[in-house]
Amino acid sequence: LQQFGSPRYSTWYSVGLLARNTQGDVAAASLMLRDVTSTSLDPTRTWVRFLRVQVRVSPNIPAGVPVSILTFFVCTSFIIVMEKFQHLLEPGLMAIMKQSMYNTTVGDGYCISGFNGDVRVCNSC
């Protein structure tokens, strides 16, 4: 399975795999989509807005790139998957992707107002 170490590359590659839809493509795309969403499902963590591929690795954010642009790109890829290819994926994965998009959107609010008193000013604010 191709791992890119970047949520935006992984989600975009998943769109391509689902469009191609040959042997093993749907399973590989599903695995990558689950990996990307795995760290954005706990809204009690202030970094929930950052989509990461590996749980124990800090967010992979290139210098000078606003976090919101990366999040928007990933969420746009999710929307393409949900609009064009949801018939190929398990309903549970669709629910996880929707929850992930919600959490990352709400997480943008933490950027300005903080969470439990820890105000954060991000490079996307």
pLDDT in tens, 74-111: 889 999 999 999 999 999 999 999 988 887 777 666 55
Residue 124 lies in a domain: no
**Containing domain of residue 64, as a range?**
7-113
Q: Which of 27, 40, 29, 47 is nearest to 115 (CA)?
A: 47
Q: Is residue 19 part of a domain?
A: yes
Q: How far is CA 29 from CA 1, 24, 25, 106, 118, in A?
A: 9, 9, 6, 25, 36
Instruction: Give the side-chain half-sphere CA count within 13 A for 29.
Output: 28
pLDDT for residue 90: 96
Residue 119 located in a structural domain: no
Note whether residue 89 is domain-resident: yes
Residue 107 lies in a domain: yes
In a domain, 122, yes or no: no
Question: Is residue 102 domain-resident?
Answer: yes
pLDDT score, position 1: 47
pTM of the predicted model as reported, rounded to 2 decimal places: 0.72
| Count of domains observed in the chain | 1
User: Domain for residue 120, yes or no?
Assistant: no
Could you tell me which residue, 42 or 73, shows the higher pLDDT?
A: 73
pLDDT digits (tens, 9 = 90+) for 18-72: 999 999 999 999 999 988 887 666 655 554 455 543 333 445 555 555 556 677 7
Confidence of residue 114 (pLDDT cuts 50, 70, 90): low
